A and B are shown apart, each in its own frame.
Chain A
């Protein structure tokens, strides 16, 4: 149980376009979903936390107008990278928690974004 999927797994796009990444909890309802970004040889960096039906909480330094997060249901959160640029190329990973056990995060397989 506790499977999280992400779609797409790979994205290559031109600079200036917007890219939407979906994160779904397949067999459970996720109280909270998290979006991370990981650059090569670096640690995961939390971008934002989203709860169903409310606005996402962004970490310091993350532009909320550039990284739009929508959490429409307890099983789906989306991250849209608007007007993507080459420096946005990264590995984007979502995770989800169940109920109060927020220390246990279930990770999606990640989405690798390459902006040309």
Chain B
């Protein structure tokens, strides 16, 4: 089983719709969680950290479910510019290593 698993997609979503995807992690000792966005042939960029209580940044909402060991990302009112691959990243506190999911590809269609 992979340490961090994501549905590769692609998710084809009409502009303006709401889309959500999950990421599961296998190590219950994981402490920090992130969503990164990666555009084609570019480096990943931090989208948002995921806090235990859940957090929101504009149209983006991230949730953490420790009991079921998954995190989620919700995008409301999706824009064409949201088309990208979304990478789930997990870290254990005190350990520098980030464990990366393979990403979920999102395509927003006009």
Contact = CB atoms under 8 A, between A and B. Distances in A.
Given A41-B8, A43-B101, A43-B102, A108 B43 contact: yes
Nearest to B2: A43
Chain B interface main SS type: loop
Interface in B30-89: 32, 41-46, 87
Interface residues of B, number: 18
A106 B45 CA distance: 8
Contacts of B8: 41
Interface of A: 32, 34, 41-46, 49, 91, 93, 97, 102-105, 107-110, 112
A103 B36 CA distance: 13
Interface string B82-110: 00000100010000111011110000000
B45 A107 contact: yes
B43 A43 contact: no
Contacts of B32: 103
Contacts of A93: 43-44
Contact of B43 (A97, A102, A110): A110
A93 B91 CA distance: 18
Given A41-B102, A104-B46, A107-B43, 19 more contacts: A32-B96, A41-B8, A43-B100, A43-B101, A43-B103, A44-B44, A44-B87, A45-B100, A46-B97, A46-B98, A49-B96, A93-B43, A93-B44, A102-B96, A103-B96, A105-B98, A107-B44, A109-B42, A110-B42
